[in-house]
Each structure stands twice: as C-alpha cells, then as structure tokens.
Amino acid sequence: MTTYTLALIPGDGIGTDVTDAAMEVLAAAAKGRFSFETTRFPWSCEYYLEHGTMMPADGIETLRGFDAIYLGAVGWPETVPDSVSLHGLLLPIRKAFNQYANIRPHRLLAGVEGPLKAEGFDILCIRENTEGEYSGAGGRVHEGKDNEVAVETSVFTRVGVERILRFGFEQARARRKHLTSVTKSNAQKYSMVFWDEVTRELAAEYPDVTVSQMHIDAMAAKMVMAPQDLDVVVASNLFGDILTDLGAAIQGGLGFAASANINPDRTAPSMFEPVHGSAPDIAGLNIANPIAAIWSVAQMLEHLGEGEASSAVLSAIEAATAKGLGCRPGASSTQEITAAVIAALEA
C-alpha cells in the first residue's frame, strides 16, 4: 500500500476548522486504498507573534521533501497585517516550489443554485501563481511625508506567461475546447499586450481550441451575465484572484471554491487549499463550510494519481449537497457536513 507524506499547515481562523474536516474525509477516502503520513506545522499569525516570522528560516526546505502540502487559511488582520502573513507564508511556498498553475474549478454542485441560478455554469479558472502583480517587486520612499511614493512593479516573463497559457490550452483541450484569456491590454500597454501576443502565438499551436481575449472589466460582466458560455479562463495572478472570488460567489459562496497550486513539472510538492481566507469572526464556531476544503482534498488525490478516490470524494460531496447540507449559510454545522460526506463515502 502506498504511503504519501503530507505537510499540513492549518494556518489561522477557520483554516483549522476546515483542515480538520478535510483530514477526516481524507482518512475515510484512503481507508483500504493507501495511507498518509501527516506532519502538522503550526505556521500562522500566532506563530508570527511568537517568532517574528510566519515560518522558520528553513521552512521551505522542510516542506520540499513532502509529496503534497495542504493549507487551511492564512491571516489574522487584527494582529498581523495581511500583506505580512501572505508574503510570509502562502506566496513564498507557491514561488519556491514553482506552483505556477493555480487551478480553481467553479461549478454548481448538486442541490446548490447560487445567486444567479446559472444552470450549466462550469468553468475552470487557471490563475498564474508565481509572478505578475504579486511579485513583491517595489518599494516606498519618503514614508510618512507629503512626498511619499509607493511603487509596485508587475513582473511578466516569457517563461511565466507562456507556461501558464500552455497549461490553460491543455486543460481546454481536455474539456470543452474553449479558452478565454483575460488581460487589460488597452490600459496596460507593456505587460498585458505581451500576454495577448503570447496568447495568439500559442493559439496557432492549438487549432482545435477556440480562443477569446477579454479585458478584465468585460470579463467580470460576462461572468455575471452569461457564465455558462465560459469554459477555461486563464488570467494573471491578481485578475485570477479577483475572478475566482466572483466564480465562488456564482457557485454559491466562498465555502464552495477549491484550489490546487500545482507544479505541473512535479519538481517540487504542490499545495492544496480552499480559496477562502481565515474568517476570524466565525473561527471555532463549527459553522464554516468545509466543502471547499474537502474538494481541495479531491484535487490533491487526483494530483497524486489516486483518481478513483478523488472521484469518490467529489461524488460524496455532491451526495451531501444534494440533501441540502452546506447549501445555505449557517443551516448546517461544519461537523454535520463533514459527517454527511464521510457517510456518503462509506455507503
């Protein structure tokens, strides 16, 4: 029986609640098939307050040896600025392990209508995950003075843009063969024009995939007006981050949005995490929706080559939502939803 090594970083707030739920489901899915050797790391805002860093200096090297990383949520803005927690944990892991493809599936699960009742809504957002607007390149001068200046540079490399678009084209090829590339190239005349050019270059290599190029503002409107027309959506780090919160809203809320930070070359571990943040106001109340976190487990199993277990987890999620569990905020507890998923898995 294969044993996978898993680095677990529950993080902050409801990160712990949903990670516990996800691990219960993982144990049920693994039973009799494979096993997990899990190491839990307390890296979080609480860790920061004690140590002055979100993770130890050798944190990245410690994680490198694992088969996969699972992360709950990061952030506790009352105590640690969000920019510190994000740039201290989540973003360095994505960059260090070349997890350049952030895969975020959005569709209506059985029994979930979402605010738009967008029947047939089923898109795969591919967010560039290691550069662009979140490169962390920039600086501030004259801090606190009238002439203060803050500069933040977006970094788009040919390697980075080409590989994320190619990844998107491959995904489109395996789905409904339509790719929408999202930029703002009318306003951003260097980086986004470059992204558009690379999109057209690659489109020539994928004649079986139809391509649309859209500006982010028009794309936001389209996602609300006609989300069913979209298939694979590829966007930069910032635009992908924003669009996937919109995708989450259309699918019924952030509690449904799963994500996989993938290193497609498999030269380092990939990381799996729900899209939502730490929601400190509801932490520990047993009301966080664990479905996004459980769906992220299904993505992890698929990445590890456990396709059968992955499909079983997805079916079990839908068996639970079809009964109404998790479909309305606060109507079912975290534990009730988790138990329903496990019961469906074991049925």
Torsion of CA 154, 180, 241, 120, to 10 degrees: 180
How many Cβ atoms from other residues are within 10 Å of residue 218's Cβ?
11
E-strand ranges in 50-165 read 68-73, 101-107, 122-128, 132-141, 149-155
Task: Name which position in 105, 277, 290, 326 contacts ligand GGG (CB under 6 A).
Answer: 277
The one-character DSSP state at 109 is P
Give the residue, chosen from 23, 69, 70, 75, that forms a contact with ligand GGG under the rule CB under 6 A.
75
- Given the residues 48, 134, 206, 231, the one annotated as active site: 134
Which residue out of 241, 265, 281, 323 is catalytically annotated? 241
Q: Does 14 bind ligand GGG (CB under 6 A)?
A: no
**Phi, psi (5° rounding) for residue 10?**
-65, -35
Residue 279 CB, nearest approach to ligand GGG (Å): 9
Establish if 74 lies at the interface with ligand GGG (CB under 6 A): yes
Question: Minimum distance between the CB of residue 15 and ligand GGG, rounded to whole angstroms?
Answer: 7
Task: Mark residue 79 as left, alpha or beta (left: phi above 0; alpha: psi -120 to 50; beta: remaining).
Answer: alpha
Stretch that binds ligand GGG, among 30-38, 58-66, 176-184, 275-283 (CB under 6 A): 275-283
Catalytic member of 31, 189, 190, 245: 245
Terminal Cα distance for the chain, rounded:
22
Burial 297-322 (b: 16+ CB within 10 A, else e): bbbbbbbbebeebbebbbebbbbbbe
Each residue 234-273 as x (binds ligand GGG by CB under 6 A) or -, in order, gives -------x-------------------------------x
* Catalytic residue flag (residue 245): yes
**Catalytic residue positions?**
134, 184, 217, 241, 245
Contact footprint for ligand GGG (CB under 6 A): 73-75, 86, 241, 273-274, 276-278
